[in-house]
Amino acid sequence: MPSAVPPSSDAAPAGSSSSSSGLHIAIVGGGITGVNLALGLQERGVSFTIYERSRGLREIGAGIGFSPNAEWAMGVLSGGVAAAYDRVANPNMEDYFQWVDGHGSDAVLFRLHVGRDGFRGCRRSDILEEWAKQLPPARVEFGKEIEAISDGDGTPLELQFRDGTSATADVVVGCDGIHSQIRQLVLPKTSAAARANYTHKFCFRALVPMERAVAAIGNYRAGARFMYNGPGAHVVTYPVGNNTVLNVLAVLSDAEAWSPPAESGGEQGKRHTASGNKQEAVAAFAGWHGTVRRIVDLLPDEMDKWAVFDMAEHPAPTYVRDCVCVAGDAAHATGPHLGAGGGMGIEDALVLSELLAAVDRRLAIGGAGTVAEPKTVLVKAALATYNDVRYERTQDVVQSTRAACDLFQWQNPAVGSDGAKFGHEITKRFYKVWNYDVEAMVQDALVQFGVRVDQD
Ligand SMILES: Cc1cc2nc3c(=O)[nH]c(=O)nc-3n(C[C@H](O)[C@H](O)[C@H](O)COP(=O)(O)OP(=O)(O)OC[C@H]3O[C@@H](n4cnc5c(N)ncnc54)[C@H](O)[C@@H]3O)c2cc1C
């Protein structure tokens, strides 16, 4: 009879930064996924270090909304993660996401219930700062851009950084985002999935002072979550920063190829931005309803254009190679249109934290590196389980996100601008992401891991 690995109640005390078994995790990248993984491991007493290429843990000045499943995952990951979100999250004036005909009538096409205080937004910089405060500074190393990982089958693995330094770890988790270097190390060099592709959508994003937003579109439209649909483009707005700013995201279709600006030198973080300006946005929405034109008029004169990349055309066939894996955008980069990418990274972080804590406990009971259960066997079993539990759901979100964008931009011929048909289709997609039993996912992962180890 296969036995499940015990649940996390017997984990090491929260806040510990070194594990009794000697298991050590290298997290490459300190974005939403990497920081949540670190906090999840910390909560479970598993040792880790974050290696981040930037000089600090930073996010851009824009908003982000976390869906109900993401909030649930935060709560299971660590009370501190969820409490931090509660401190910065901005409730919407109403518990509905509303879609408006932004091109013609300005009428509401469809209202989707988001649950009590569901799908709140915040400033990205606020939430990352709140989470980062909970990490011991000694566990985060900055200026560490990963270049290579030793190829050996056993542990420890050796990480080599661009600055010529190196480090060792038993497990490497690549949380290094959409243009992941670790993904290129996990997949064969010739794999098309090693790189994300341009979706032929780009966006303008801005945080607009709330007084200006209210003056332009009124209290109600500025205080609740809205999306304005239309031909070939859409605009999303929701309040953040304790109702002091309106987050505006305008997404446009683009028939051309995306060429990174010469000044980026192909540098990873800059490859998907180019300088843009308000005139371009104003021209794109010129024929739209006055409400949308007033929103677009709130954008700053100079701003970046953000290319939307994803992995829909060339999904990674696996997220794992031996004791190395990818998580978050590094594994399944998705567009922003379902507001689900960040939440998928948090769910990944939760499963990985639980599985790596289970490895840690097995090693602590058996003594690290015993013949019966060598560390690498347990780690490989844990990462294979992570891949099994997360693959289908995350790939589904990537594909569904593209389909959702077609619905918003009236590019689904069977639906067009029909509010009732749109409502039916979009409800299915959002509720599939949101109505997901995060705790059952964890239990499933722990049982699968136990079965795998016992059968080995
Ligand atoms: C316009 C837009 C709007 C969005 N809105 C939402 C939303 O409302 N809700 C939602 O859930 N999701 C949203 N998303 C998706 C969400 O932003 C991403 O899914 C999420 O930020 C991914 O986090 P990550 O930590 O996996 O990757 P990233 O945030 O990209 O973090 C990667 C980190 O790794 C570091 N790094 C990169 N390469 C290396 C290297 N070689 N060595 C060391 N470090 C490295 C980077 O500096 C960075 O800190 C949106 C995305 C976009 C583009």
* pLDDT the model gives residue 12: 39
State which ligand 1 atom lies nearest to the alpha carbon of 203.
1
> pLDDT band at residue 192, thresholds of 50, 70 and 90?
confident
Residue 176 alpha carbon to ligand 1 centre in Å: 8
Ligand 1 probe mutation, 64, 72, 140, 334, most atoms within 8 A of CB:
64
- Which DSSP letter does residue 373 get? S
For residues 225-241, average pLDDT = 97
**Ligand 1 centre from 53 Cα, in Å?**
13
Query: String of b and e for 351-383 (b: at least 16 CB within 10 Å)?
Result: bbbbbbbbbbbbbbebebeeeebbbbebbbbbb
**Are the beta carbons of 433 and 342 closer than 8 angstroms?**
no
pLDDT > 50? residue 287:
yes
Percent of the chain with pLDDT over 70: 90
CA of 94 from ligand 1 middle (Å) equals 28
Among 108, 109, 96, smallest CA distance to 415 is for 109
Closest residue (by CA) to atom 27 of ligand 1?
Answer: 177
Instruction: Give per-residue pLDDT as tens, 259-274.
Output: 866 554 444 445 789 9
Q: What is the pLDDT of residue 14?
A: 40
Task: Write down the CATH number for the domain with range 24-90+120-196+316-412+443-455.
Answer: 3.50.50.60
Average pLDDT score, the chain: 91
Q: What's the pTM value of the predicted model, to 2 decimals? A: 0.93
Would you state the structure tokens that stand for residue 223, as one six-digit string?
């205080």
User: For ligand 1, atom 42, which residue shows the shortest CA distance?
Assistant: 145
Q: What is the structure's pLDDT at 19? A: 61
Per-residue pLDDT tens digits for 126-180: 999 999 999 999 999 999 999 999 866 666 899 999 999 999 999 999 999 999 9
Of these residues, 44, 53, 205, 362, which one is catalytic?
205
123: annotated active-site residue? no
The residues spanned by each domain of the chain are 24-90+120-196+316-412+443-455
More confident: 5 or 79 = 79
Each residue's pLDDT tens digit, 383-426: 999 999 999 999 999 999 999 999 999 999 999 999 999 999 99
Residues whose beta carbon lies within 6 Å of some atom of ligand 1: 28-34, 51-54, 64-66, 144-146, 175-178, 181, 203, 205, 249, 268-269, 306, 328-330, 336, 339-343, 345
Ligand 1 mean position, distance from CA 455 (Å): 37
Pick the more confident residue, 59 or 327: 327
Residue nearest to atom 31 of ligand 1 (CA): 31
Q: Is the pLDDT of residue 443 over 90?
A: yes
Note the pLDDT of residue 367: 60
